[in-house]
Amino acid sequence: MRVRNCIGFWLLTACGVSGSVAGIAPDWLKLIRETPTVQVEWATRYEHGEGLPQDYGRAMQLYCAAARRGHALAQYQLGWIYANGRGVARDDVQAAAWFRLAAAKGDALAQRMLARLDDPAKIKPANCVEPVDPTPKPPLQQFASRSRPFSPERAKVEALVNRIAPSYGLQPALVLAVIEAESSFNDQARSPKDAQGLMQLIPATAERFGVQNPYDPVQNLQGGMAYLRWLLAYFQGDVRLTLAGYNAGEGAVVRHGGVPPYAETRAYVEKITRVYGQLAHPPVAAVTRPAVLNRPPFVSALASPVVTPSAPSSLLITTARKP
């Protein structure tokens, strides 16, 4: 177990997150922008005080950031923390809410814990507080004021987006930011990779969403918005993962457990999120099942049973996971 933790720690520092050496904490801003897998690893270190001062507050925030992006282990850990009152007031209802999310992804241990806690009369949504990125972001309305039409053609595209986007449950500001990055509002744009039209649909994506003529502005917008809505449903409203999927494909996001380490994709995500100014999009129609992001081998082991002293002896929720 200790060897596995050391290997995981070395990998994280090698990947660019400032390591915890001699009590020096990692770069918090980097952590809150990291992949769910990395966030869970460091959340565990904060929770147990491994190589840095124990800090339940930061542990909970990092678990929350990963859990809201669909990371089953983070969801399980939040359930376990609430069930055992570790650093927070014990709350069986919140514990069940988080176990329920992890169990829905097929997590067997979460399913067992949920069976012991779940009370249909006391179901509440899972709640947590994510870390806040202090980087100044433009307000949602800034795109519209900054992007005043430079031509009648652009004005027509913006009018189409404002009319069509609500029917897909999308905020026009996000769609406009994507179009700006993809084609600069050129409905005849074509990339070297054969991405076409306003939202740069490759032929496979156009076919997938029923677009017969990708150079027709309305068809292209409908196809691109259908794909954005699908990605937002798949990644549960996470804008960064959605944009990464739009640029590199949802499969790449799942394989890497977050935004893939491609320079183009990371620059693309950063550019659009700064313009859009939001990291989470309001809920869209559930057109697909949520994604299950991959997690590395060193976060799959089980630690020794832990029993909170203040918990009654009848409490059966005693298993804590540690990377």
The span from the CA of 252 to the CA of 28, in Å, is 26
Residue 114: C-alpha distances to residues 79, 109, 218, 319, 321 (Å): 9, 9, 47, 13, 15
Catalytic-role residue among 41, 182, 264, 270: 182
Tell me, yes or no, if 158 is annotated catalytic. no
Question: How far, in whole angstroms, is CA 29 from its chain's centroid?
Answer: 16
Distance CA 204, CA 206 (A): 5
Calpha distance 123→119 (Å, rounded): 7
In angstroms, the first-to-last Cα distance of the chain is 8
- From the list 48, 296, 305, 277, the residue with the least C-alpha distance to 141 is 277
Encoded tokens for 236:
């549960």
The label of the residue with tokens 């950063």 reads 270
Catalytic residues: 182
